[in-house]
Amino acid sequence: MSERPTDVAVGSQFDADQTPYKAIGGETGVQALVDAFYDQMDTSEDARVIRAMHDDLSRSREKLFWFLCGWLGGPQHYVERFGHPRLRMRHAPFAIDQSARDAWMGCMHRAMDERSIEGPLRAFLDARFEHLATFMINR
């Protein structure tokens, strides 16, 4: 499990001049969030169904890290390796219904709690993750 980096809330100073990538703490902050997220998925009872859709989580950690860096305004590691994310298409093989979406969001909310992501950055990320997770529903 990841430990909280500091006692100070992450993102309380987030504003329009800053990318979310910088506000979250750059590469280190994104990596810590991704690790907390998959630790949640690996251990939470309510994530059992979505955990079973995944195989080796170390590959998932790597891919979500690459994706989030670019999606939050940092380096485009994912696009450099795989081209356009086309996430809905890449999720098509998995049966994602409302409850799978809610389980994914539950892990992400708890991961953001664990990382003490608060304030304007938290509000921004809640909305963006919710939007994208809902877009992944395909059943």
CB of 109 to ligand HEM, least distance (A): 12
Sign of the C-alpha dihedral, residues 48, 51, 57, 63? Answer: negative
Query: What is the residue type of 124?
Result: F
Q: What is the rounded radius of gyration, in angstroms, for the C-alpha atoms of the chain? A: 14
Sign of the C-alpha dihedral, residues 42, 132, 59, 21? Answer: negative
CB of 64 to ligand HEM, least distance (A): 5
State the Cα–Cα distance between residues 138 and 121, nearest whole angstrom. 28
- Taking CA atoms, 124 is separated from 108, 109, 130, in Å, by 13, 13, 10
Q: Nearest to ligand HEM by Cβ — which residue?
A: 60
Q: Which is nearer to ligand HEM, 10 or 108 (CB)?
A: 108
Q: Which is nearer to ligand HEM, 21 or 104 (CB)?
A: 104
State the Cα–Cα distance between residues 51 and 27, nearest whole angstrom. 25
Q: Which is nearer to ligand HEM, 3 or 83 (CB)?
A: 83
CB of 70 to ligand HEM, least distance (A): 10
Q: Which is nearer to ligand HEM, 23 or 64 (CB)?
A: 64
Q: Which residue has the tokens 């664990």?
A: 114
CB of 7 to ligand HEM, least distance (A): 27
Which residues contact ligand HEM (rule: CB under 6 A)?
50, 53-54, 60, 63-64, 67, 82, 87, 90-91, 94, 96, 100-101, 104, 129, 132-133, 136
